[in-house]
Amino acid sequence: MIRKIAFAIVVLSLTTSCVSKKIYQDLENKYADLKKERNALADENETLSQTKNQLEIDRNNLQSELDKTKTERDKLANDFAASQKRFETLKSSYDALEKNSNDALANNMKQNRELLAELDAKQKTLTAEQERLNKLKSDLEASSTRLAELEKMIADKEATMQKLKETLSKALNAFEGKGLTVENRNGKVYVSMENKLLFESGSWTVGSEGKKAVKTLGNVLAENPDISVLIEGHTDNDKITGTIGGGIENNWDLSTKRATAIVNILSDNKKIDKKNLTAAGRSEFAPLATNDTNEGKAKNRRIEIILTPKLDEISKMMSEL
């Protein structure tokens, strides 16, 4: 604009021999005003450029924060950002074409409406995903609490069984070395009594020393009503021949009768809940040692009393995890 005015002044000076001083002064003033306006616009452009740079820095910082969002929302967030960019592009196109083309304007408006609908749908999806993540977090916290309770309960059970094992070892100390052992395996306490402490060969009648051991065991069990008691009878692989003590069909029969004899002695203790007692015969099929030697057969002829904590509460809690 300034150049055009200057050019006009030159042309006027060439085509007119006499230019009044007032006209010349007016043109000078207009030129000065336009120069000031140019400088003001340059300053404003600089300010806008700085603002633009700061806005770009702020946008980059926000983008960095956005990148740290959870993995589950990355895809949706990226789609949202891409849609937002498309929206801005279409909006710019809309602004540029608004004055020039009614058809372009209508088309852009349609695309904008579609894009806004898409953005709204993605926002709703993001909101739903956030709600799902919040619920998962809440469920995880609840499961962690139940798991901690379960671990404590299991630890308490293990501590109880260890204490029971120590109590039994102390109570039955007089019988250890006579074919009686107490040990803790897999969270259970095993009390093993060889036949030499309990029975004569081929008999299921418990001797006096064996009764003392079983009754001592019963006194401890009476103080632990939350323990399940499985009494297993075991034999060697020698076959039953002839008639023994009124008749025994085989080792299954003998092992079961011996287990039942132990249950009967324990049942004499009125403090023991009979529902906690189970008798089982294992015959010769769960040996501790080879049946090829007399020593091995002696180890295999035994009663095993397996003490197990009741796990109903633990099983229920595990099913809820």
| Residue 135 sits in the same domain as residue 181 | no
163 found inside a domain = no
| Residue 138 sits in the same domain as residue 212 | no
165 found inside a domain = no
160 found inside a domain = no
pLDDT of residue 253: 92
159 found inside a domain = no
* Three-state DSSP state, 249: coil
Report the number of distinct structural domains present in the chain.
Answer: 3
| Residue 258 sits in the same domain as residue 187 | yes
pLDDT of residue 90: 74
Whether this model's pTM surpasses 0.75: no
Read off the CATH number of the domain in which 255 is found: 3.30.1330.60
pLDDT of residue 14: 53
| Residue 197 sits in the same domain as residue 268 | yes
| Residue 6 sits in the same domain as residue 58 | yes
Q: Which domain-ending residue is among 94, 122, 151?
A: 151
| Residue 144 sits in the same domain as residue 232 | no
| Residue 315 sits in the same domain as residue 177 | yes
Q: Which domain-ending residue is among 117, 151, 185?
A: 151
pLDDT of residue 112: 84
| Residue 47 sits in the same domain as residue 103 | no
205 found inside a domain = yes
pLDDT of residue 215: 96
97 Cβ neighbours under 8 A, 6+ residues apart: 104, 105, 108
pLDDT of residue 183: 93
pLDDT of residue 257: 95
| Residue 51 sits in the same domain as residue 107 | no
Contacts 24+ apart (CB under 8 A), 264-272: 265/206, 265/211, 265/214, 265/215, 265/218, 266/214, 266/217, 266/218, 266/221, 266/229, 266/231, 268/215, 268/218, 269/215, 269/218, 269/219, 269/221, 269/222, 271/222, 271/223, 272/218, 272/221, 272/222
104 found inside a domain = yes
**pLDDT tens track, the chain, 321 positions:** 555 555 555 555 555 545 588 888 888 888 898 888 888 888 888 887 887 888 778 778 867 776 776 887 778 778 788 877 887 887 777 777 667 767 766 777 888 888 888 888 888 888 888 888 788 777 677 667 666 766 777 787 888 889 989 999 998 998 888 889 999 998 899 999 999 999 988 889 999 999 999 999 999 999 999 899 999 999 999 988 765 555 788 999 999 999 999 999 999 999 999 999 999 999 999 999 999 999 999 999 999 999 999 765 555 545 555
Structural domain of 5: 1-64
| Residue 254 sits in the same domain as residue 124 | no
Q: Which domain-ending residue is among 64, 85, 118?
A: 64
| Residue 177 sits in the same domain as residue 261 | yes
| Residue 208 sits in the same domain as residue 307 | yes
pLDDT of residue 317: 47
246 found inside a domain = yes
162 found inside a domain = no
Beta strands 302-309; 227-234: pairing state: antiparallel
